[in-house]
Amino acid sequence: METGLFIGRFQPFHNGHLKSITNVSTELDELVIGVGSADSSHTSENPFTAGERIRMIDKSLELNETNVYIVPIVDIERNSVWVGHVESLCPRFDTVYTNNNLVNRLFKESGYNLENHKKVRRDEFSGTEVRRRIVEDENWKELVPEEVSKHINRIDGVQRLKMISD
């Protein structure tokens, strides 16, 4: 049974994440989605809580054959023990999917199989771009799954992001 770990901050979960996870899941029996920086929220870079992000991901995914586990990962600010920290929080996994150079390096040094997932229209589909559009009153809803825009509206996320970005 092949299990992959897909790590991201998902601030917020957007269509690029959805497409990448959908593509990756076709190769796996199980997928662990690690929600990084789970201890950070209510800042311009990390406006949403781990619970809010987990809900966005859960409501957006419909992967037919792949079992999915969503795990919050708190930052520990100690790179030398970070992989062990992730291992202690997650079900066993074989392959790590990331395009983050540091995360890639840390898992490589720990002997994991690494795969880069293809970034989908990275210039448009990025959390930074979604947050910028929200703050600037531009069309951001086209960049996220419908369930994510509903959830952001339900938690008054637009006002939260505008307030913390001032």
Strand ranges inside the chain, DSSP E: 3-8, 30-35, 67-72, 95-97, 113-115
Identify the residue with better confidence: 35 or 117. 35
Q: What structural domains does the chain harbor?
A: 3-165 (3.40.50.620)
pLDDT at 66 over 80: no
* Confidence at 8, pLDDT banded by 50, 70, 90: very high
Q: How many CA atoms within 13 Å lie on the side-chain side of 7?
A: 27
Longest dimension (CA), the chain: 48
Q: How far apart are CA 8 and CA 53, in angstroms?
A: 10
pLDDT at 144 over 80: yes
* 136: CB partners within 8 A, 6+ apart: none
Quote the distance between the C-alpha of residue 143 and its chain's center. 15
**pLDDT, averaged across the chain:** 92
The predicted pLDDT at position 31 comes to: 95
Residue 64 binned pLDDT confidence (cut-offs 50, 70, 90): low
Stretch 14-30: mean pLDDT: 91
Comparing CA positions, the residue from 131, 139, 137 lying closest to residue 53 is 131
pLDDT at 84 over 70: yes
* Predicted local confidence at residue 119, as pLDDT: 59
